[in-house]
Structure formats: structure tokens, C-alpha cells
Amino acid sequence: MKLLLIEDEPSVISLIQRSLSVSGYEITVAMDGKSGLQMASQHAFDIIILDLMLPVINGMEVCRKIRSSGSATPILMLTALGTTENIVSGLDAGADDYITKPFKLAELEARIRTLTRRGKEPEKTKNNASSQIADLVLDTITKTVQRAGQPIDLTATEFRLLEFLMSNQNKVLNRMEILENVWDINFNLGTNVVDVYINYLRKKIDKQNSVKLIHTVFGMGYVMRQSYEDPK
């Protein structure tokens, strides 16, 4: 398992190297954003661990550039900035997951395993490539979404959230279920990242349509169903 660690704190680098090397990871280290971006573009990695506060080029911009190059390598952001705004910004930039410092090594390894496993899952979905509700169609192979035949642009996180909602049509999903299945590992439950992303989807999917598909069930969570009622 080849891992690129883009991090400028020697103590964090040493900690991760000692822990993950024992677990069989082959670790390449870049101590600034520019060299990290070069390594990511020139070599193949199974996963990238990316700090946000980096010299030369910050981690957010590194993440955007990696994604704009067409790379689908899983990116785990590692940073001391743990507010909802920072989490959402990191995920919007193209990160697949987010862990805040200080962190437990066991949690870091669990998230790495989850992200690398997720990267191998598309092969399993070929027999069930698309989901549909009303005139909304999601294709898991081409990673595309259309409503009434019109394409809808989604980020990777928005796509995973919509896929989870559509695979559980008519079922009320609480925030914990959504966190565990879309982000895999629980974020700080004091954040409202789920609500933020639900609102993102509503703006893209429901705002211009009379038939609303994403609904709030007060005190319980969210449900995807076909209805003529406005979502609350």
C-alpha cells in the first residue's frame, strides 16, 4: 500500500511513519504543498494524507489541483482546523475524508482502510449501475446525475450523499446513519456538516422543481421520497 504524506510538522510525520510502516504501508513524505503536488502527479499512490496548513501551496489548493488533474486517489485531510466551515471547505475541494489533530492512530488507520476499500467498490456496483426516483437518475459507473434529462453537477461528497439517500428511498435516515455511511467515521457531532450538505443537494436537485424529493422529518432526520410538498 503506497501512501503519500504531505505534512510539514516533523513530530506528526515521525508518528505516522512509525505507526503505518509497521502496518505495511510504504510512505513517501513531502514537506510542502508544491513538492507534494509534484509527487502526486508523477507517481501512483493508493491514498494521500494531506495537511491543510502547508508552506508554498496550502493543502486546500493542493487538493483542488489534484482533483482538477483528473486523479481519483483518495485524499484524507489532516489538520487542526475542525469547524464545520473547514470540514465543508475541505470536502468541497475534493477531499474524501477529514480528521482533526490531535488524532488517535487507530482512528487514522481505520479511515485509511475505509477510503482504500471504498476505492475498490465500483466493480461491485456494475449489476446495479443506476438508481431512479421520479425524474432523478443517478449512475454509479459514470458518476453522473440527471433530473428531467438535465445534468446536475455534484461534488464527490454530494454524490455519495445522494447515492445513499436514493438507495434508502422512503426510509427516514438520522444524522448518525448518514455520517457513518457517507463519511464512514463519525465527525464531531457538534458540527452540522450533514445539514449543510443536505441543503447543497436541495439547491441543486429540488430548488427549480415542483416535485420535491428531499424532506426533513423533524426530530428524526431526512428522507428521500416523491412528494408535492415543499421540504421543511
In this structure, which long-range contacts are made by residues 191-196, counting pairs with CB atoms below 8 Å and at least 24 apart in sequence? 191/82, 191/83, 191/84, 191/87, 192/84, 193/84, 193/87, 193/88, 193/91, 196/84, 196/88
According to the model, what pLDDT value does residue 59 have? Answer: 93
Looking at the fold, whether 61 and 147 belong to one and the same domain comes out as no
Q: Are residues 64 and 132 in the same domain?
A: no
Last residue of a domain, one of 85, 119, 153: 119
Per-residue confidence at 170, pLDDT binned at 50, 70, 90? very high
Structural domain containing residue 36:
2-119
Is 137 in the same domain as 111? Answer: no
pLDDT tier for residue 76 given thresholds of 50, 70 and 90:
very high
What pLDDT is attached to residue 26? 94
Full DSSP string of 137-191: EEETTTTEEEETTEE----HHHHHHHHHHHHTTT--B-HHHHIIIIISS---TTS
pLDDT attached to residue 164:
94
> Helix, strand, or coil here: 103?
coil
99, 119, 139 - which closes a domain? 119
| Residues 12 and 111 occupy one common structural domain | yes
The verdict on 204 and 96 lying in the same domain is no
Are 17 and 43 found together in one domain?
A: yes
pLDDT confidence bin for 189, thresholds 50/70/90:
low
User: In total, how many domains does the chain have?
Assistant: 2
Are residues 148 and 165 both part of a single domain? yes
30, part of any domain? yes
**40 and 111 together in one domain:** yes
Give pLDDT tens digits for 44-71: 999 999 999 999 999 999 999 999 998 8
pLDDT at 231: 43
Q: Is the pLDDT of residue 82 over 50?
A: yes
Please provide residue 203's backbone torsions phi and psi, each rounded to the nearest 5 degrees: -65, -35
- pLDDT for residue 188 is more than 50: yes
Averaged over 170-193, what is the pLDDT?
Answer: 76
Contact 138/131 with Cβ under 8 angstroms? yes
Q: pTM for this one?
A: 0.67
Residue 131 belongs to some domain of the structure: yes
Measured between alpha carbons, how far is 183 from 160 in angstroms, rounded to an integer? 9
Instruction: Classify residue 2 by burial, with Cβ atoms within 10 Å: 0-12, 13-18, 19+.
Output: middle
Task: Specify whether the CB–CB gap between 97 and 77 falls below 8 A.
Answer: yes
Domain CATH number, residue 195? 1.10.10.10
48: domain CATH number? 3.40.50.2300
Residue that terminates a domain, selected from 119, 152, 174? 119
Task: Determine, yes or no, domain membership for 232.
Answer: no
Instruction: Convert the pLDDT of each residue in 114-157 to its tens digit.
Output: 888 766 554 444 445 788 999 999 998 888 999 999 999 988 88
Closest CA to 67 of 32, 40, 45: 40
Q: Is 47 helix (H, G, I), strand (E, B) or coil?
A: strand
Mean pLDDT of 17-38: 93
Same domain flag for 31 and 98: yes
